[in-house]
């Protein structure tokens, strides 16, 4: 009888654990460059004033009527924030805060970094040449020399 009760109890525990709703970890999504300003005001001001990528969607909008959907998608990958990724740019109407190549293009999605109050382990702080080369490469930009920008600070 004890063995039977023990087995029934174990079945109950297993059934409860397998049907209990799973709590998925929060997905790190894109929040937009304006959100970064709250803690990184100096970098935000420099970025929006001097960095061309802070206004990169303007060039795509100007050329959009002459491009196919596939060509536009190729542009969005580097000229918007998070295009094709969860929580990233979808359209100018649905996600206007992600319409330019903002901070998160280089530093990664920032929602968890922001929610944590600035935990630096939740955002990419140090960048490498590989990060830049995702967009700045010979097949996309023939004569772009990004080394001085990376080492001089892209902000």
Question: pTM score, two decimals?
Answer: 0.73
Assigned domain for 36 exists: yes
Assigned domain for 3 exists: no
* pLDDT > 90: percent of the chain: 43
Q: How confident is the model at residue 121 (pLDDT cuts 50, 70, 90)?
A: very high
| Residue 55 structural domain | 28-124
Assigned domain for 153 exists: no
Assigned domain for 46 exists: yes
DSSP letters along 14-83, please?
HHHHHHSPP-PPPP-----HHHHTTT-HHHHHHHHHH-GGGGTHHHHHHHGGGS-HHHHHHHHHHHSSST
Assigned domain for 141 exists: no
**Predicted confidence (pLDDT) per residue in 46-84, tens digit:** 888 878 777 888 888 888 889 999 999 989 998 999 999
Domain count, the chain: 1
Could you tell me the CATH number of the domain that includes residue 35? 1.10.1130.10
**Predicted confidence (pLDDT) per residue in 90-109, tens digit:** 999 999 999 999 999 999 99
Assigned domain for 142 exists: no
What is the CB-side half-sphere exposure of residue 142 using CA atoms within 13 A?
Answer: 0
Intra-chain end-to-end CA distance of the chain, in Å = 72
Assigned domain for 41 exists: yes
The yes-or-no verdict on residue 132 having pLDDT over 90 is no
């Amino acid at each position: 009888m004890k063995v039977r009760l023990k087995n029934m109890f174990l079945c109950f525990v297993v059934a409860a654990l397998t049907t209990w709703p799973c709590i998925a970890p929060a997905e790190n999504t894109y929040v937009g460059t304006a959100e970064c300003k709250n803690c990184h005001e100096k970098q935000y001001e420099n970025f929006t004033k001097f960095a061309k990528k802070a206004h990169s969607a303007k060039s795509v909008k100007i050329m959009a009527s002459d491009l196919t959907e596939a060509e536009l998608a190729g542009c969005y990958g580097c000229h918007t924030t998070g295009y094709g990724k969860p929580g990233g740019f979808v359209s100018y109407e649905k996600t206007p805060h992600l319409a330019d190549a903002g901070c998160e293009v280089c530093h990664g999605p920032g929602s968890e970094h922001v929610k944590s109050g600035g935990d630096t382990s939740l955002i990419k702080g140090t960048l490498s040449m590989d990060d830049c080369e995702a967009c700045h490469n010979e097949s996309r930009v023939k004569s772009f020399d990004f080394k001085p920008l990376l080492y001089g600070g892209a902000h």
